[in-house]
């Protein structure tokens, strides 16, 4: 199996040029996160994931996690040991508060680490990812006692967490869930119901699993207004905090899936299990919404991760495989396929989109940090708005691209890509879930047009558009490649603005218009945002080249990538305008 190598130089470039790591390190509480320390963490953790997790990726795919006759779940060979080493190394706690044993680093660093973790082994990465979501929920809404009891072990990774929303009749429509919670005299609750598709619902990586379960209390209002959130541990704790009796819950089966086979996707049965209410009753959906940004950015990053791992593999294969004669190659000799223009097109398309996605995800994460920690309230508000706006783009466009990028990598391999032995097919199968979970991409698109465009009466998207226009303006005054990139960005901005104005004028009054155009609009948002960020990346590269700083070959490649994106990928945004503005008539006229 080809190895994964963490793209540290590319990551560093984004951390230094698209987001402002030194400014984050100047925020109260982040003083220890100085750039050199951060790069050291990324280098070390990248080496760890590549050495310990990446070699198990294939094992996980072929062995799957298995449910045993006694209801316990066994993960693939090597997983418990690799996970134990991850806990020992302290990687799990990097972004969490020091008072619970964490490193107190910005979320941005967690996202950069997640890029490498997921690329190394997506099936295994989901256990820490879900645990992070559960920790985040407890940090924000758990009582002081709940935080003290559960967080220290969850932050280290000794205990893991799950999110239990989905039921057979309640998927996208979470408000349809029926799991019940009945209050007890001692202040606890008894939880009864069935949850499906629960990631790492049971496993052998940790002594305890802290399930966060959405359920309805008696007389709860219907729909999302009547949902409450409960802590339901797999193993109950004794008075002294040690592990006590097994709670009344079990994994009754594991789904057979097309990918992420190592990740046990469990049907969970709760049969009067002891639960503890988080916060107030009937507020569970509000709590979930608050923490969705983090989880959705993480899922968006998986598109970047697998796209990059598949890209690395495709580049290697393209150098090894020889077929036909490339233009200009000597007669009588076959060429490596990397010399054929169409293969180069595939590779450069991948590289450009991967780099755009990395800029987007890191900017999104930085905005979450600034929204949470900046001392100036105005900055906090603006960055929260930006994070809110970017999140459906990171999740929706990021995961759609994940599928497309892994598919392109497979295509570069030709027939060998379709053969499991090369491993590239696994990336394609693994990433296919990402546009579905954590809110399908259809739901992300509806979120964009229904919730995000109307923010501050269209003021948030207007500010965002103004930022793109400003970059295009700066570039148009430059020379050579930068001017060419600026021209394309200005055109894309104009089309994006016209389409956005149409949606604001026609979509808010008539939601049918907005919903019919939502998915092409989200893609347009992604393509243009990617173009804007790569244009900034080109600006930064040119600045350094002019100043004689940095690695000139590396920086010139940044310009090549940005120009290719601006000239060959960015114009695709304009082609989406007719679909965004068509309205629902044709969709409604069709019979199925
Ligand atoms: C491998 C895996 C792991 C998972 N892990 C977890 C987990 O850990 N915890 C958990 O709680 N859940 C988990 N899920 C569940 C996942 O979040 C849901 O599958 C997802 O939310 C979609 O719900 P659904 O499958 O019922 O699809 P549906 O809601 O039935 O959607 C089917 C299609 O209809 C579309 N659609 C639905 N409603 C609308 C609407 N109002 N307007 C427009 N289009 C709509 C959707 O976009 C989709 O294309 C997991 C699922 C899988 C497969």
pLDDT of residue 73: 98
Q: How many CB atoms lie within 10 A of CB 114?
A: 27
Tokens of 487: 């021209």
Name the residue with the closest Cα to ligand 1, atom 7. Answer: 198
Alpha carbon of 429 to ligand 1 centroid (Å): 17
pLDDT of residue 24: 94
% the chain with pLDDT above 70: 100
- Helix or strand or coil: residue 480? helix
Report the DSSP pairing between strands 243-246 and 235-237.
antiparallel
Task: State pLDDT tens for residues 223-258.
Answer: 999 999 999 999 999 999 899 999 999 999 999 999
Pocket test for ligand 1, best of 202, 437, 441 (most atoms within 8 A of CB): 437
Task: State pLDDT tens for residues 44-76.
Answer: 999 999 999 999 999 999 999 999 999 999 999
Name the residue with the closest Cα to ligand 1, atom 27. Answer: 171
Query: Rounded mean pLDDT of 19-40?
Result: 94
pLDDT of residue 136: 95
Task: State pLDDT tens for residues 433-465.
Answer: 999 999 999 999 999 999 999 999 999 999 999
Query: Rounded mean pLDDT of 536-541?
Result: 98
Alpha carbon of 269 to ligand 1 centroid (Å): 19
Q: Is the pLDDT of residue 1 over 60?
A: no
Query: Is residue 148 a contact partner of residue 259, using CB atoms and an 8 Å limit?
Result: no
Tokens of 240: 């002294």
Alpha carbon of 567 to ligand 1 centroid (Å): 36
Q: Is the pLDDT of residue 406 over 80?
A: yes
pLDDT of residue 294: 84
pLDDT of residue 2: 43
| Catalytic residue status for 438 | yes
The number of the ligand 1 atom at minimal distance from the alpha carbon of 440 is 47
Closest CA to 192 of 178, 180, 184: 180
pLDDT band at 520 (very low <50, low <70, confident <90, very high): very high
Task: State pLDDT tens for residues 275-284.
Answer: 999 999 999 9
DSSP 481-535: HHHHHHHHHHHHHHHHHHHHHHHHHHTTT-HHHHHHHHHHHHHHHHHHHHHHHHH
Q: For the whole model, what pTM was predicted?
A: 0.97
The burial class, CB within 10 Å (0-12 / 13-18 / 19+), for 405 is: buried
pLDDT of residue 3: 80
Alpha carbon of 249 to ligand 1 centroid (Å): 23
Query: Rounded mean pLDDT of 112-137?
Result: 97
pLDDT of residue 293: 80
> Of 31, 438, 469, 549, which one is the catalytic site residue?
438
The number of the ligand 1 atom at minimal distance from the alpha carbon of 172 is 29
Q: Rounded to whole angstroms, what are the CA distances from 150 to 147, 158, 160, 231, 455?
A: 6, 10, 10, 10, 36
Q: Rounded to whole angstroms, what are the CA distances from 245 to 237, 241, 251, 471?
A: 7, 12, 17, 60
Tokens of 474: 């700066």
pLDDT, mean over the chain? 97
Task: State pLDDT tens for residues 33-51.
Answer: 999 999 999 999 999 999 9
Task: State pLDDT tens for residues 186-220.
Answer: 999 999 999 999 999 999 999 999 999 999 999 99
Which residues line ligand 1 at a C-beta cut-off of 6 Å? Answer: 130, 163-166, 171-172, 197-199, 257, 265, 433, 436-437, 440, 442-443
Alpha carbon of 443 to ligand 1 centroid (Å): 9
DSSP 192-203: EEEEEEEETSS-
Query: Is residue 468 a contact partner of residue 573, using CB atoms and an 8 Å limit?
Result: no
Task: State pLDDT tens for residues 288-312.
Answer: 887 788 889 999 999 999 999 999 9
């Amino acid at each position: 199996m080809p190895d994964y190598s963490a793209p540290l130089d590319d990551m560093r470039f984004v951390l230094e040029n698209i987001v402002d790591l030194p400014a984050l390190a100047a925020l109260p509480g982040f003083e220890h996160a100085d750039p050199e320390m951060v790069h050291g963490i990324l280098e070390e953790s990248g080496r760890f994931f590549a050495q310990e997790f990446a070699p198990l990726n294939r094992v996980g795919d072929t062995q799957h996690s298995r449910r045993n006759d006694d209801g316990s779940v066994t993960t693939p060979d090597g997983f418990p040991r690799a996970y134990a080493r991850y806990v020992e190394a302290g990687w799990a706690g990097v972004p969490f508060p020091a008072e619970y044993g964490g490193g107190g680093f910005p979320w941005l660093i967690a996202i950069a680490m997640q890029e490498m973790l997921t690329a190394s082994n997506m099936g295994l990465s989901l256990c820490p990812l879900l645990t992070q979501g559960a920790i985040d929920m407890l940090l924000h809404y758990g009582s002081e006692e709940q935080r003290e009891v559960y967080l220290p072990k969850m932050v280290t990774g000794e205990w893991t967490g799950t999110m239990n929303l989905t039921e057979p009749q309640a998927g996208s429509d979470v408000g349809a869930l029926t799991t019940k919670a009945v209050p007890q005299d001692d202040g606890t609750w008894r939880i009864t119901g069935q949850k499906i598709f629960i990631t790492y619902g049971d496993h052998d990586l940790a002594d305890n699993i802290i399930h966060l379960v959405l359920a309805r209390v008696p007389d709860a209002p219907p729909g999302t207004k009547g949902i409450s959130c409960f802590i339901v541990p797999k193993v109950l704790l004794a008075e002294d905090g040690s592990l006590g009796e097994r709670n009344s819950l079990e994994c009754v089966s594991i789904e057979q899936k097309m990918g992420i086979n190592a990740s046990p996707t469990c049907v969970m049965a709760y049969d009067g299990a002891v639960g503890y209410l988080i916060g107030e009753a009937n507020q569970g959906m509000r709590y979930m919404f608050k923490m969705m940004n983090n989880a959705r950015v993480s899922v968006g990053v998986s598109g970047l991760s697998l796209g990059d791992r598949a890209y690395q593999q495709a580049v290697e294969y393209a150098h090894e495989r020889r077929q036909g004669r490339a233009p200009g190659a000597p007669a009588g000799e076959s060429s490596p396929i990397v010399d054929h223009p169409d293969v180069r097109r595939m590779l450069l398309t991948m590289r450009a989109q991967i780099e755009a996605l990395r800029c987007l995800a890191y900017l999104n994460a930085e905005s979450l940090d600034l929204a949470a920690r900046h001392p100036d309230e105005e900055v906090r508000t603006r960055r929260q708005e930006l994070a809110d706006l970017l999140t459906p783009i990171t999740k929706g466009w990021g995961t759609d691209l994940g599928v497309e990028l892994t598919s392109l990598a497979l295509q570069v391999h030709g027939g060998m890509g379709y053969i499991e032995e090369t491993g590239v097919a696994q990336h394609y199968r693994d990433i296919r879930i990402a546009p579905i979970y954590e809110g399908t991409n259809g739901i992300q698109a509806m979120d964009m047009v229904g919730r995000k465009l109307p923010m501050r009466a269209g003021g948030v998207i207007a500010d965002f558009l103004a930022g793109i226009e400003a970059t295009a303006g700066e570039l148009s005054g430059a020379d050579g490649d930068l001017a060419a990139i600026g021209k394309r960005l200005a055109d894309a901005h104009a089309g994006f603005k016209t389409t956005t104005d149409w949606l604001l004028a026609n979509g808010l009054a008539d939601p049918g218009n907005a919903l019919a155009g939502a998915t092409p609009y989200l893609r347009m948002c992604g393509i243009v945002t990617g173009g804007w960020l790569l244009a900034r990346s080109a600006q930064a590269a040119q600045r350094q080249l002019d100043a004689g700083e940095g690695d000139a070959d590396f920086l010139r490649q940044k310009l090549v990538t940005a120009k290719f994106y601006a000239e060959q990928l960015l114009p695709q945004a304009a082609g989406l305008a007719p679909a965004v503005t068509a309205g629902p008539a044709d969709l409604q006229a069709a019979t199925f």
